[in-house]
A and B are shown apart, each in its own frame.
Chain A
Amino acid sequence: MAIFSTSPLITSGHSVSSPAPTIDIRAIVRNHGSVAAVDHVSFQVQRGEFFSILGPSGAGKTSVLRIVAGFEDPDAGDVLIDGRSMLGVPPNRRPVNLVFQSYALFPHLTVFENVAFGLKMRRVPASLIDEHVRQALTMVKLVGKEGRKPAQLSGGEQQRVALARALVNKPAVVLLDEPLAALDQQLRQAMQVELKSIQEQAGLTCVCVTHHQEEAMMMSDRIAVMHQGRMWQVGTPREVYENPRTLFVSRFLGVSNELPGRVGEAVEGAHLFQPADDLVPGFPVRIGPEVSAGRPATWSLRPEQLRMSRERPATQDPVLPGVLEKVLFAGSETKYLVRVGRDRLWEARTSGAMQLPYTSGDPVFLHWALGDGRVFFE
């Protein structure tokens, strides 16, 4: 199953080989005043897939979710669920359920009644409701709390009720709006694992909106990075992290050590990158064949790909000198901030056990594999 697409994102192209997608979003546009909150967004989600829309606040990702749920209408484009256009179909007639960021549990109903709400509205026979609700509560480990009111539950438990209330309806798609944002760090990490396992166990198709890159990477089969109303890249977490297509995607998915400059002459199968900062010597970079020399660009590298040593290493790889500014011990790992040139602070990391005997002010050499560095043209 071809679950990642590298086709241009603005068009509504379909992957021919894949089975009919559960969700097919075709070039939707949503204007808020004169600003396009959603600007020709297209994507497809396959059955059983966990698809995340990742982006900073204001990127338009919640608008996309609300359009799929039916709370907002797109100004252009189409939303297909199981091959059926959803335009003009109100939320209560769509085979989707939304897990709200604030959970939106009904405070006057018990846990059981909250979970049963959707089934009741669809006039499912009482005996079946009982069975389905029990199954859903078992799945989210809330058996024994059926009679509680939402106010009597912890944040994590409320989250589970919200999830059960959606999945009990066996919708074609479960929409998750920042599902774990209201939880504290530890609970959030535990719920990430649990939410993912529930999703796999129940075979749910999920579209999740989040601004939390780690959350998106851990739970998703594919991630779409959204910014200023547009989708910049769609791919597997590894793909998006390791091969970001733009500087924004690179920065948003993790720390990126950067150096502005321009690409110079071709040398031995690579190009010479000339940093704008004249204190930093040029070094080789690998770029595509179509690039002409002299273009301004930003070079970037992930911290975990950066190696640090006291002596200049005997290697063919690019090497830059720097000065260690700070050693930050963060438990499971140690971070090193190294000054490169005039004003760049780069981050390098080692795991906690192998803390290197460096102190601030030490001159160090930074090196990396030629292929790891990435060049982004403006």
Chain B
Amino acid sequence: MPPDDVAHITPTAQDSCRSCWLAVPGLLWMILFFLVPLLLVLAISFASRGTYGGIVWEFTWANYLDLLHPLYGKILVQSLCYATVTTAICFLLGFPLAYVIARSPARWQPVLLLLVMLPFWTNFLVRTYAWMILLRHDGLANHLLLALGLITEPLELLYTPTAVVIGLVYGYLPFMVLPLYVAVERLDPVLVEAAWDLYASRWAVLTRVVVPLTMPGIVGGCILVFIPSIGSFITPDLLGGARSMMIGNLIQHEYLVVRDWPLGSAVSFVLMGIVMAAVVLYYRRATPGDGPLEGR
């Protein structure tokens, strides 16, 4: 490639703005239905709760100060743990899966990807209920384990942190697989051969070549799994029981049960802050200086 070809992707300012108006409908939609409600929630988070659950428009930091209570801290840490564990398991399961799909014959790839996305054809709530049936005391999982002789007593699976993680991993694994598939698909197999030819063991090929070069997909997948995991409330609500409360449940609880909208709003904003901090951290990790993201 001649040197002047290197920077050909950067369009001039004029070029990039000629089709700006195409973004107007989407932008309007986002302003009306995302930005405005978001600002409303922000406003509410600084108001206080009326006696009967209404909103009293008096500015106060009280809601945020309330969140310093150890109980909320515990829920927050718990949520972070669930999301982190879920993301890690999704990565460990998703990476080999994505690799196999991306390296399978071209005519099989659409079918395999379809199979990965197949669960989305059914409502998430219904699928989570299905997990309740599988995991309960006399459920399919216990029957299977008993029949195989792996256990003698039925396990308590439902309403445990394990059940929550199983549900979360099940729910968000496709979000990990898809970006990883794209990244692996773009990885030239010749680079793997080159590393192998240059005395790299299989492990070294993985850590020195495959992982660095698929980092954009890894970061993308982790973010896509981490964000919905940390904010999820259906899964911990149905599979986790009372002890497995996550930050999403807290928000739901404050809004719908306690009817303390200001506190619920404050929790929402704290969650947003955490997610954004996590995303920034991920990106920093993935792109030390001019990392693979820039190199592509």
Chain A interface residues (CB < 8 Å from chain B): 69-71, 90-93, 96-98, 100, 102, 104-108, 117-118, 121-122, 149, 151-155, 158, 165, 169
Contact = CB atoms under 8 A, between A and B. Distances in A.
A108 B295 contact: yes
Contacts, number: 77
Contacts of A152: 3, 6
A135 B99 CA distance: 38
A117 B198 contact: yes
19 contacts: A69-B197, A92-B198, A92-B199, A97-B197, A100-B190, A100-B194, A104-B188, A104-B191, A107-B213, A107-B295, A107-B296, A118-B198, A118-B199, A122-B199, A151-B295, A152-B3, A152-B6, A155-B1, A165-B198
Contacts of B200: 92, 117, 121
Nearest to A90: B196
Contacts of A154: 1-3
A96 B193 CA distance: 13
B213 A97 contact: no
Contact of A97 (B1, B198, B201, B291): B198
B84 to A, nearest CB: 26
B188 to A, nearest CB: 7
Contacts of A97: 197-198
Contacts of A107: 191, 213, 292, 295-296
B209 interface: yes
Given A104-B190, A108-B291, A151-B6, A91 B1 contact: no
A93 B198 CA distance: 9
Contacts of A90: 196
Interface string B177-211: 00000000000101101111111110010001100
Contact of B295 (A102, A149, A155): A149
Contacts of B208: 117
A207 to B, nearest CB: 14
Contacts of B199: 92-93, 118, 121-122, 169
A96 B204 CA distance: 18
B212 interface: yes
A90 B190 CA distance: 16
A349 B188 CA distance: 45
Contacts of A118: 198-199
Interface string B1-20: 11100100000000000000
Given A106-B194, A117-B195, A149-B290, 19 more contacts: A71-B197, A90-B196, A91-B193, A92-B198, A96-B197, A98-B197, A100-B193, A104-B191, A105-B194, A106-B195, A107-B295, A108-B212, A117-B200, A118-B199, A122-B199, A151-B1, A152-B6, A154-B2, A169-B199
A93 B196 CA distance: 9
A117 B190 CA distance: 15
A96 B197 CA distance: 8
A97 B194 CA distance: 9
B1 to A, nearest CB: 6
Contacts of A155: 1-2
A91 B198 CA distance: 8
A91 B295 CA distance: 28
A67 to B, nearest CB: 13
A108 B193 contact: no
Nearest to B193: A71
Contacts of B6: 151-152
Q: What are the 5 tightest A-B residue pairs by CB atom distance, in nearest-first order?
A: A104-B194, A118-B198, A121-B199, A104-B190, A108-B292
Contacts of A158: 1
A262 B296 CA distance: 62
B213 to A, nearest CB: 6
Contacts of A169: 198-199
Contacts of B209: 106
Contacts of B290: 149
Given A71-B193, A117-B198, A165-B198, A102 B291 contact: no
Contacts of B188: 102, 104
Interface in B58-73: none
Contacts of A102: 188, 190
Given A104-B191, A151-B1, A91 B197 contact: yes
B120 to A, nearest CB: 33
Contacts of B3: 152, 154
Contact of B213 (A70, A91, A108, A121): A108
